[in-house]
Amino acid sequence: MSHMQTERLQADDAGFARAAAILQNGGLVGMPTETVYGLAGNALDGSVAKKIYAAKGRPSDNPLIVHIAAFSQLATLVQTVPPAAEKLAEAFWPGPLTIILPKADCIPDAVSAGMPTVAVRFPSHPAAQRLIRESGLPLAAPSANLSGRPSPTTAAHVLHDLGGRIDAVLDGGPCGVGVESTVITLADDPPRLLRPGGITLEQLRAVLGTVELDDAVLHPLKEGVRVASPGMKYKHYSPQADVIILNGTDAQYKAYVNAHAGPGVMALCYDGDEAGLAVPALCYGNRQDDSTLAHALFDALREVDVRGAKTVYARCPQPVGVGLAVCNRLMRAAGFEVIDLA
């Protein structure tokens, strides 16, 4: 990858104008969204998609999500807009929901990873909307990190991973949701949740009725199965440290961690758990509010590497509501290494 100087742009008139010009010229820009930072490029140009894969070191069998700034743009990117898509858009767009539909011919194979479908999202972040509008392009944007690492929720995270590999990052401050969008496919009947996020399975079912949960959400992807959505790979969102999930009561968790204390051991736990632990603890939120866990998870997974941890014993919420999204990311960060203490 040729080394370039990555510009850090402010979210002001000059910054947006510069970022839009870079995108119109086939360049790549780190873009803030309400979920995580995206690595944006022109979604209608297959050579730009190849640049995105190269910058991330991402396997090109992982499709890219196309970002739009008006519901009317969806019809230009897909074959037809079914009633289910209209219902979902009405309920959740703009917001952290990605909808998969059969793609229109204008979507290059490099963006859809050779699949006949395309994943589309209308983000709610004002900076993302403005960049899409000012560039005049639908923007393909996976998370703006090196492939397999924890996702970026600040411009500093983007520069840490991709500085020198992309043209610019637009600094829009920290991301609100903190985990990537929920992904649902309408290309199959019934609709299926492929990746959980800030919009929950329960919310989707309230709008559509039947929505299936893909087996790969909480289990490894089966051998030989094509990746239909980003985030379905086995090892993902992962720090350099080994992450091991411990399921059990507070007392069981503390007893196990303390029995395995030693150099390089850390705890990734809930607020208040640090009392009584014999190892350094990183608290990533309130056990009563899974959205706080989602918001802080990736920052915490990066922080364990900053602190030089080798083994991290993590606590994981119940897989309901936003907890399902936190569970899904932690399971992949841990490579599905879970110890049941109960």
**Co-location of 202 and 267 in the same domain:** no
CATH code of the domain containing 179: 3.90.870.10
**Co-location of 166 and 247 in the same domain:** no
CATH code of the domain containing 324: 3.40.50.11030
- pLDDT surpassing 90 at residue 60: no
Predicted confidence at residue 148, as pLDDT, reads 87
**Co-location of 190 and 79 in the same domain:** yes
Query: Is the entire prediction scored with pTM above 0.85?
Result: yes
Say which DSSP state 143 is in. Answer: B
Sign of torsion, CA 34 35 36 37? negative
Count of the separate structural domains present in the chain: 2
- Domain boundary among the residues 217, 251, 272 is at 217
pLDDT tens for 3-29 read: 789 999 999 999 999 999 999 999 999
What is the rounded average pLDDT of the residues 152-161? 96
Asked, for residue 41, whether it belongs to a domain, the answer is yes
- pLDDT surpassing 80 at residue 224: no
**Co-location of 77 and 196 in the same domain:** yes
- pLDDT surpassing 70 at residue 209: yes
Asked, for residue 231, whether it belongs to a domain, the answer is no
Predicted confidence at residue 338, as pLDDT, reads 94
Asked, for residue 298, whether it belongs to a domain, the answer is yes
- pLDDT surpassing 60 at residue 58: yes
Asked, for residue 148, whether it belongs to a domain, the answer is yes
* CA 149 – CA 161 distance, rounded (Å): 9
**How sure is the predictor about 221, in pLDDT bands with cuts at 50, 70 and 90?**
confident
Q: Cite the DSSP H helix spans in the chain.
A: 13-24, 46-56, 74-77, 83-92, 109-112, 126-135, 155-162, 201-208, 250-259, 290-306, 323-333
**Co-location of 54 and 159 in the same domain:** yes
Domain that holds residue 157: 7-217
pLDDT tens for 307-336 read: 999 999 999 999 999 999 999 999 999 999
**Co-location of 197 and 125 in the same domain:** yes
Asked, for residue 2, whether it belongs to a domain, the answer is no
**Co-location of 313 and 279 in the same domain:** yes
CB neighbour class for 152 (10 Å; exposed up to 12, middle 13-18, buried from 19): buried
- Mean of all residue pLDDT scores within the chain: 95
**How sure is the predictor about 53, in pLDDT bands with cuts at 50, 70 and 90?**
very high
Predicted confidence at residue 233, as pLDDT, reads 63
Predicted confidence at residue 109, as pLDDT, reads 96
Q: Which residue in this structure is represented by tokens 């069998």?
A: 61
Asked, for residue 235, whether it belongs to a domain, the answer is no
Contact 239, 302 (CB under 8 A): yes
**Co-location of 312 and 182 in the same domain:** no
Asked, for residue 234, whether it belongs to a domain, the answer is no
Asked, for residue 146, whether it belongs to a domain, the answer is yes
**Co-location of 123 and 249 in the same domain:** no
**Co-location of 155 and 39 in the same domain:** yes
Q: In the numeric block, which tokens belong to residue 53? A: 């894969």
Range with the poorest average pLDDT among 38-47, 128-137, 143-152, 232-241: 232-241
The percentage of residues in the chain with a pLDDT greater than 70, rounded to a whole number, is: 98
**How sure is the predictor about 276, in pLDDT bands with cuts at 50, 70 and 90?**
very high
**Co-location of 40 and 145 in the same domain:** yes
Predicted confidence at residue 2, as pLDDT, reads 55
Query: Which residue in 329, 275, 253, 316 sits closest to 35, CA to CA?
Result: 329
- pLDDT surpassing 90 at residue 232: no
Helix, strand or coil, per DSSP, at residue 113: coil
Predicted confidence at residue 237, as pLDDT, reads 82
**Co-location of 293 and 193 in the same domain:** no
